Amino acid sequence: MRCPFCGHEASQVKDSRPTEDGAAIRRRRQCEACAARFTTFERIQLRELIVLKSEDKREPFDRDKLIRSVSLACRKRPIDANQVEKLVSGIQRQLETLGETEIPTKRIGEMVMEGLKHLDSVAYIRFASVYRDFREAKDFEEFASNISEVGKQ
């Protein structure tokens, strides 16, 4: 692990423990060259995932990109970072256990929408407006009315 302060390659692990959600391992490290201490988070990855984008483009699955898009939908809502982290961890785990190495963006988007539907209706609508590419206000109104109908049942 490269030291973020001096760039030296070798570091010594001083402490290691699982994160609260159990999806990562938090390690306190000390650089052997400059003695600076820093923290790393290591995630267990079951398999390498490739995202199938439009026009047959492929790119590696980027967990941070997914966190950013979910966080953007949840901005200024009563949702803390742990809830976003838990949602993204659950989606990533589902993707890894599908048994497929190439996942279409549509499948990932649907999983995010399903998770946000149960987390916060406003965040759900925000994400859907970008994901479903609403063009006019009536598209937005139709989608929002379907949500309120689901909530009444």
- What are the structural domain ranges in the chain? 11-43, 50-152
pLDDT digits (tens, 9 = 90+) for 117-129: 999 999 999 999 8
Provide the whole-model pTM. Answer: 0.72
Structure tokens at 42: 């290591």
- Closest to 79 in 3D by CA, of 126, 21, 144, 123: 123
Decide: 120 and 145 in contact? Cβ < 8 Å: no
pLDDT for 44 = 72
Considering only 12-21, 75-84, 134-143, which range has the smallest mean pLDDT? 134-143
